[in-house]
């Protein structure tokens, strides 16, 4: 059976029930005073769908309060359809495609997409990557063009890629047979990249990078078990040593390939201020891929579980991407 034919994707009342079961697994909770016991569902004929009342603080609420769905005029079952489409599209789905498929305006589809990406962002308290016996690859790439300053030309980036001072720099950390974390950084320098690596990777990890000069002294203090580099300038892309994992950065470069195919082929344009959300989208799908035992429906469920506290309130942008 098609996933889109599920009841909660076609019926508004079922959509509320399904989302409540994911966000409130232990029963409804007041978002204002966090009361769970003195809460009941309102059942009047003129009552809005999914409306509850808290008899502790005397306020009414729905499951959408404090989430990406709050104060949205788009029916909740259409939100769920959008989530399923984004969760199941390996290279993303454009705002124009959502606009045509869901029957909403282009501006609405654009805003829905960004709200859903916000729900896909991982938290700052995520545990370190890697660990004993694990390998993490680090690399950086350039993408798009930095936003122009309102009173002058594009600000110059501190990156050493030839001819790319006006480009955005993205650094990714990929654990082999594991997840990825990507960051939009201001430039490719040791002071910018190394602290991010040390903050996000466990000390028991074997690190692998290319021979970018910003990595040369990364492990001088013995932070990691080992740090190996491959020299792409000498046409070295993989090196084998007895009893060790192959030394390469092919895994993280494969992730960059997927990211750029999606950004260039599907989204085509991305303002710098929104880049972190597109990175969150591609990170999320990579971290919840089929190889790790996550199918499309479970991926959509995990997005819904992340909608709380992620409401966006900025106005419709002057340019849609």
- With contact defined as beta carbons under 8 Å apart, do 120 and 280 qualify? yes
Map out the domains of the chain with their CATH numbers: 135-286 (3.30.420.10)
- Mean pLDDT along residues 253-273: 92
- Band (pLDDT 50/70/90 cuts) for residue 189 is confident
Q: What is the pLDDT of residue 78?
A: 96
- Band (pLDDT 50/70/90 cuts) for residue 152 is very low
Q: Is the pLDDT of residue 315 over 80?
A: no
Q: What is the pLDDT of residue 150?
A: 43
- With a pLDDT cut of 90, the percent of the chain lying above it is 75
Q: What is the pLDDT of residue 161?
A: 55
- What distance lies between CA 219 and its chain's CA centroid? 29
Q: What is the pLDDT of residue 162?
A: 53
Q: What is the pLDDT of residue 4?
A: 82
- Mean pLDDT along residues 113-118: 94
Give the residue among 130, 125, 126 at the shortest CA–CA distance from 224.
130
Q: Is the pLDDT of residue 153 over 50?
A: no
Q: What is the pLDDT of residue 52?
A: 96
Give 248: exposed, middle or buried? Use CB within 10 Å, 0-12, 13-18, 19+: buried
Q: What is the pLDDT of residue 55?
A: 95
Distance between CA atoms of 266 and 281, rounded to whole angstroms?
A: 13
Write out pLDDT tens, residues 22-33. 999 999 999 999
- Of 63-67, 85-89, 160-164, 302-306, the least confident: 160-164
Q: What is the pLDDT of residue 122?
A: 80
**Beta-sheet strand order (sheet of 52-54):** 39-41, 52-54, 60-61
Which comes out higher in pLDDT, residue 56 or 162? 56
Q: Is the pLDDT of residue 149 over 50?
A: no
Classify 132 in phi/psi space as left (phi over 0), alpha (psi -120 to 50) or beta: beta
Average confidence score pLDDT of the chain: 89
Alpha-carbon dihedral 36, 40, 41, 46, rounded to 10 degrees = -130
> CA dist 116 to 209, 218, 245, 302, 304, Å?
32, 36, 37, 11, 9
pTM listed for this prediction: 0.88
Both tokens of 23, joined, read 């966000």
End-to-end distance of the chain based on CA atoms, in angstroms? 33
Distance between CA atoms of 280 and 26, rounded to whole angstroms?
A: 28
Distance between CA atoms of 172 and 6, rounded to whole angstroms?
A: 36
- Band (pLDDT 50/70/90 cuts) for residue 243 is confident
Q: Tokens 């079961």 — which residue?
A: 21
């Amino acid at each position: 059976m098609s996933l889109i034919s599920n009841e909660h994707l076609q019926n508004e009342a079922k959509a509320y029930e399904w989302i409540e079961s994911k966000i409130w697994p232990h029963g409804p909770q007041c978002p204002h005073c966090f009361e769970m016991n003195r809460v009941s569902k309102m059942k009047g004929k003129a009552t809005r769908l999914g409306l509850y009342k808290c008899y502790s603080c005397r306020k009414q609420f729905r499951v959408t309060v404090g989430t990406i769905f709050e104060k949205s005029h788009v029916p909740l079952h259409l939100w769920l359809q959008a989530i399923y489409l984004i969760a199941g599209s390996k290279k993303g789905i454009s705002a124009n495609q959502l606009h045509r498929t869901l029957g909403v305006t282009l501006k609405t589809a654009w805003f829905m997409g960004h709200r859903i990406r916000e729900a896909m962002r991982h938290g700052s308290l995520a545990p370190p990557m890697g660990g004993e016996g694990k390998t993490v690859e680090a690399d950086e790439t350039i993408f798009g063009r930095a936003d122009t300053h309102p009173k002058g030309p594009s600000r110059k980036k501190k990156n050493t890629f030839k001819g790319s001072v006006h480009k955005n720099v993205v650094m990714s950390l990929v654990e082999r047979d594991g997840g990825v974390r990507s960051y939009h950084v201001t430039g490719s320098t040791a002071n910018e990249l190394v602290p991010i690596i040390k903050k996000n990777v466990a000390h028991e990890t074997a690190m692998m990078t290319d021979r970018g000069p910003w990595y040369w002294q990364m492990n001088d203090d013995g932070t990691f078990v080992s740090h190996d580099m491959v020299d792409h300038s000498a046409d070295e892309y993989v090196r084998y040593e007895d009893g060790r994992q192959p030394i390469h950065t092919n895994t993280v470069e494969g992730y960059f390939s997927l990211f750029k195919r999606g950004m260039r082929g599907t989204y085509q344009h991305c303002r710098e201020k929104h880049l972190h959300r597109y990175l969150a989208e591609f990170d999320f799908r990579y971290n919840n891929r089929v190889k790790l035992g996550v199918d499309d429906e479970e991926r959509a469920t995990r997005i819904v579980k992340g909608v709380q506290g992620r409401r966006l309130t900025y106005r419709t942008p002057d340019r849609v991407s």
